[in-house]
Amino acid sequence: MGLLDTLSVGRRALGAASAGIDVASQNVANVETAGYSRRRLITSTADPVYRSGGWLGSGVNVDGVERQTDRFISERLVEAAGSSSEASTKESVLGLAETYFDEQSQTGVHGALSDVYDALSALSADPSDVGGRLAAVAAAEDFAGTVNRVAQGLEDGMEDIDDGVDERLSTINSTLSKIAALNKRIGKSGNALGPADLLDKRDQLIREAGDLAGATVDFSSTGQATVFIGGHAVVSGKDARTLTASLDSSGELQVLVDVGSGTAKVTADIGGEIGGLVGSRESMESWLSDLDDIVEAVADAFNAQHALGFDQNGTAGGDVFSYTSTDPSLTIEVDASLADDPSLLAVAGASTAAAGDDDNLQALLDIEETAVLGGLTGEEAISGLVSSIGSDVASAAADADSLEYQLSDVQTMWDSVAQVDLDEEAIQLVALQTAYTAAARVITAADQLLQTLMNIGA
């Protein structure tokens, strides 16, 4: 090997050490950067050359910079993030909605209905007492108002969910477009370090997409990523699709994905925060529907029995409650005539009854022990609904805890592969500094020898 060859080998060694220092510096600089994966310089032995009857080494080649990551773990991390986000969102939203049925810090639907029976029971001591009649009507009004409050709270919660879904869909659509744009840049880039940074940025966006919408991903060997939501490829290469939301004819929220000439429903399959919101809305719709059934059954029972009695004027009783069949819980109220004139409370059993007749009042009280819906009394049906709601919230909380642990496990696996270790980088920098110094000395020695040869010939 000649001195010029030695200079070339030294130059290659110097370049490799310098590149290694650049990579280690990049790792140290991004130790706190979310989604950053540690880099490693890839080198290989340069092809030898045949000279003077033998094969001589040519030094080292810098082949590129490799991210320390694992394809399977990265894909699993996106899925785990979506599942955990969906469960935690559902736990939060349903936990808040459950407070509308709280019987501890306020009078709930069950307590308000019990108060109606208590007021009617008190009135039985003197059915002609104006104060007792006023109290009974007021208790009925409180029951209707409590039901209205709960139903309106659920309606407002569902409207907030609709707004939240729209907001997150805007974000996910922007995120998907950015992922597609980065896919395009990654495919075109020829810079070894550049794509690693772009890949990290894109993969972080994919994790955000998983967190928002329960996206899944398939990483190809070429570095491209295909993102799926509800089984549909929403990012493929440089192309991204759009997600939208709308209410169908029955008022149920639907999430749709653009599939070229039309749209496809992904409501049942979407996850992440959006999936948690959609699932919470479905639960709240079910709660409100059950409450409607109970309220309608209780109101009908009171109205039917009240119509069999007679008021203080000897007139047959009218309705106690009025409501619209489409929204019983939102619209239930005490009949306007009865609210204005408690003497219309039909507690007597006959039109010519003597003062103190409470035959129909006793029949109204009997409703408390009468099955009005599915073999249950009104109070039992309300208790069953509250119990079911508590079970839904507890189940959501258990899922959130379990899936959070799973996400933590996958994150730990990812960190073990990709996270920057400052101690390791410090050791690497010392080794690279030593290699750089040694390479510089090789070049210096070769240069000095060349100078000596040139001086001999002078």
For residue range 390-430, what is the model confidence (pLDDT) as tens digits? Answer: 999 999 999 999 999 999 999 999 999 999 999 999 999 99
- Collapsing DSSP states into helix, strand and coil, what is residue 47? coil
Over range 315-342, report the average pLDDT: 95
* Predicted pLDDT of residue 122: 95
Amino acid at 346: A
Domain ranges of the chain: 3-68+420-456, 75-408
The string of pLDDT tens digits covering residues 81-126 is 999 999 999 999 999 999 999 887 677 999 999 999 999 999 999 9
Over range 448-457, report the average pLDDT: 76
> In terms of C-beta density within 10 A (0-12 exposed, 13-18 middle, 19 or more buried), how is residue 257 classed?
buried
* Predicted pLDDT of residue 305: 96
* Predicted pLDDT of residue 295: 97
CB of 305 closer than 8 Å to CB of 367:
yes
Q: DSSP for 349-411?
A: SSTTPPTT--HHHHHHHHGGGS--BTTB-HHHHHHHHHHHHHHHHHHHHHHHHHHHHHHHHHH
> In terms of C-beta density within 10 A (0-12 exposed, 13-18 middle, 19 or more buried), how is residue 193 classed?
middle
Q: How many CB atoms lie within 10 A of CB 156?
A: 12
Share of the chain above pLDDT 90, in %: 67
CB of 112 closer than 8 Å to CB of 146:
yes
The string of pLDDT tens digits covering residues 188-214 is 764 545 688 889 999 999 999 999 999
Report how far residue 49's alpha carbon sits from residue 2's, in angstroms, rounded to the nearest whole number.
12
Round to the nearest angstrom and report the end-to-end CA distance of the chain.
24
CB of 39 closer than 8 Å to CB of 200:
no
Averaged pLDDT score across all residues of the chain: 90
* Predicted pLDDT of residue 191: 52
* Predicted pLDDT of residue 192: 47
* Predicted pLDDT of residue 354: 64
What φ, ψ does residue 247 adopt, rounded to 5°? -95, 130
